[in-house]
């Protein structure tokens, strides 16, 4: 995969490689003018551009990305479309409003994606299967009890599972217990991103391999890309953890790099050892624990490393080292499949804030930002995309109110303190992970 710009790492291997290549959209090579410009074509930018187009059917909306589609976090994630977030610790009645707000946001994103997939017959292996949350170590066992209590209090449909029941469902006896939450979906994320881009409204123009280098804010914004200038009345930044000259929001998020491996397709005999469900997704109840999927095409995908790598993807050498950690976790859970090789190895970078909240902000009358989803941005990013479009159009809808009411992300110090702090905090995420890794 060619590099659009050395700043924007573009290495692939992973979900995008599991599907046929697509013809990318052209880059911008001459000056353009538009009412709206959306920077970043992940879930947030795709959703924002769509909503802007719906509200303003006569306006031209430019959606551009530094990379090719699917080479961002949106195309590299594990494919869990979460409806109910897991808040660690015991249920707190005083936090009820926060719990409800976060889940309302998730649900807006989930509903939007589900409808788009259905209405446009997007082939992305979408399955409304619900999501498993599991505990392998004693600290996450306690977390499992907290989560089940939380789900009960909130009257969210779920099924608690013993060690044996987890085995019956998933074919692994590694977990002490778990719980299945009914509401939530799984999909192949790169296929979904491609499908969403193919079905954008007619007044959205998508450009790839077009990095924004500079933004000159004035009555009309001038956005500088390598071969052209784009003049736009309003600019929405949906560019996750990445920055560019001229847009100077306060430093409140960093990029954390995650990595995972995906096996070859399992044979019928291997597949038969994996319990009663044909396709499933497991999230760990420990924040440093492994996420594991049995995909629709019968592969197992495992993701269990996270580190601060200066906002970059991992190099091949780093990836090969991380794969030993993936392998160990895989063999622990599926000793019957320890002969099954991994076929794909990948990393992805996600925006994370110090207090694990999101950013939804108007920097000025013509510059907005939505992003930073702390590893849970498929449904949230989609909802934030809708919200930021409505906010920029002056609407005071319920999604706008919910996004604005979220806790604000804390300010972070500049480098080199930032690097140290981010490295340390990411490492802390694995404290007590034990068997959950």
Ligand X SMILES: Cc1cc2nc3c(=O)[nH]c(=O)nc-3n(C[C@H](O)[C@H](O)[C@H](O)COP(=O)(O)OP(=O)(O)OC[C@H]3O[C@@H](n4cnc5c(N)ncnc54)[C@H](O)[C@@H]3O)c2cc1C
The answer to whether 253 touches 412, Cβ cutoff 8 Å, is yes
| Minimum separation from the CB atom of position 196 to ligand X (A) | 11
The reply to whether 74 sits near ligand X by the rule CB under 6 A is yes
Q: Centre a 10 Å sphere on the Cβ of residue 138 and count the other Cβ atoms it contains.
A: 12
In this chain, which of 78, 188, 221, 305 binds ligand X, going by CB under 6 A? 78
The answer to whether 301 touches 238, Cβ cutoff 8 Å, is no
| Minimum separation from the CB atom of position 321 to ligand X (A) | 17
In this chain, which of 326, 371, 386, 433 binds ligand X, going by CB under 6 A? 371
**How far apart, in whole angstroms, are the C-alpha atoms of residue 116 and residue 373?**
21
Residue 232-251 contact track with ligand X, rule CB under 6 A, x = bound:
------xxx-x-x-------
- DSSP letter, residue 95: G
In this chain, which of 15, 80, 175, 207 binds ligand X, going by CB under 6 A? 80
Single out the segment in contact with ligand X by CB under 6 A; choices: 39-47, 112-120, 128-136, 393-401. 39-47
206 SS3 class: strand
The answer to whether 170 touches 282, Cβ cutoff 8 Å, is yes
Residue 41-60 contact track with ligand X, rule CB under 6 A, x = bound:
xxxxx---------------
The reply to whether 15 sits near ligand X by the rule CB under 6 A is no
DSSP characters over 241-292? T---BT-------EEEEEEEEEEPPPPHHHHHTS-S-SSEEEEESSTTS-EE
Single out the segment in contact with ligand X by CB under 6 A; choices: 19-27, 68-76, 111-119, 420-428. 68-76
- The closest residue (CB) to ligand X is 377
- The H or E element that residue 420 is part of is helix 417-428
Residue 316-355 contact track with ligand X, rule CB under 6 A, x = bound:
--------------------------------xxx-----
**How far apart, in whole angstroms, are the C-alpha atoms of residue 128 and residue 68?**
28
**How far apart, in whole angstroms, are the C-alpha atoms of residue 331 and residue 417?**
38
Residues contributing to the site for ligand X (CB under 6 A): 8, 39-45, 64-67, 72-74, 76-80, 82, 211-212, 238-240, 242, 244, 258, 260, 303, 348-350, 371, 373, 375-378, 381
């Amino acid at each position: 995969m060619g590099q659009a710009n050395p700043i924007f790492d573009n290495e692939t291997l992973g979900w995008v490689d599991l599907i046929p290549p697509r013809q990318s959209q052209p880059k911008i090579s001459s000056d353009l003018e538009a009412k709206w410009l959306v920077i970043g074509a992940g879930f947030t930018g795709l959703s924002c551009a769509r909503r802007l187009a719906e509200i303003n059917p006569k306006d031209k909306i430019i959606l551009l990305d530094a990379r090719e589609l699917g080479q961002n976090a949106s195309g590299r994630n594990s494919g869990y479309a979460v409806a109910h977030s897991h808040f660690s610790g015991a249920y707190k009645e005083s936090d009820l409003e926060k719990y409800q707000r976060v889940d309302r946001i998730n649900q807006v994103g989930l509903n939007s994606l589900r409808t788009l997939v259905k209405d446009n017959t997007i082939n992305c292996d979408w399955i409304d299967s619900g999501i498993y949350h599991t505990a392998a170590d004693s600290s996450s066992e306690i977390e499992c009890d907290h989560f089940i209590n939380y789900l009960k209090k909130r009257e969210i449909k779920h099924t608690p599972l013993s060690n044996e029941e987890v085995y019956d469902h998933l074919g692994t006896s590694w977990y002490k217990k778990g719980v299945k939450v009914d509401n939530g979906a799984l999909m192949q994320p790169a296929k979904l991103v491609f499908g969403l881009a193919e079905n954008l409204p007619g007044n959205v123009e998508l450009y790839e391999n077009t990095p924004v280098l500079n933004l000159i804010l004035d009555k009309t914004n001038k956005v500088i890309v390598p071969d052209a200038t784009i003049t736009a009345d309003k600019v929405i930044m949906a560019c996750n953890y990445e920055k560019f000259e001229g847009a100077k929001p306060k430093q409140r998020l960093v990029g954390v790099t995650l990595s995972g491996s995906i096996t070859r397709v399992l044979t019928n005999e291997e597949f038969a050892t994996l319990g009663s469900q044909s396709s499933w997704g497991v999230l760990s109840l420990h924040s440093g624990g492994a996420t594991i999927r049995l995909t629709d095409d019968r592969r197992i995908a495992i993701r269990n490393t996270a580190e601060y790598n200066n906002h970059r993807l991992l190099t091949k050498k780093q990836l090969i080292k991380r794969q030993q950690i993936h392998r160990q976790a895989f063999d622990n859970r599926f000793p019957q499949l320890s002969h099954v090789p991994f076929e794909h190895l990948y990393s992805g970078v996600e925006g994370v804030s110090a207090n694990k909240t999101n950013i939804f902000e108007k920097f000025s009358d013509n510059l907005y930002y939505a992003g930073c989803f702390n590893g849970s941005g498929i449904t949230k990013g989609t909802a934030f995309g809708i919200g930021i479009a409505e906010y920029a159009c002056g609407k005071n809808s319920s999604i706008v109110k919910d996004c604005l009411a979220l806790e604000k992300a804390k300010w972070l110090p500049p480098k080199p303190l930032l690097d140290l702090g981010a490295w340390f905090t990411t490492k802390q995420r694995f404290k007590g992970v034990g068997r959950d890794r």
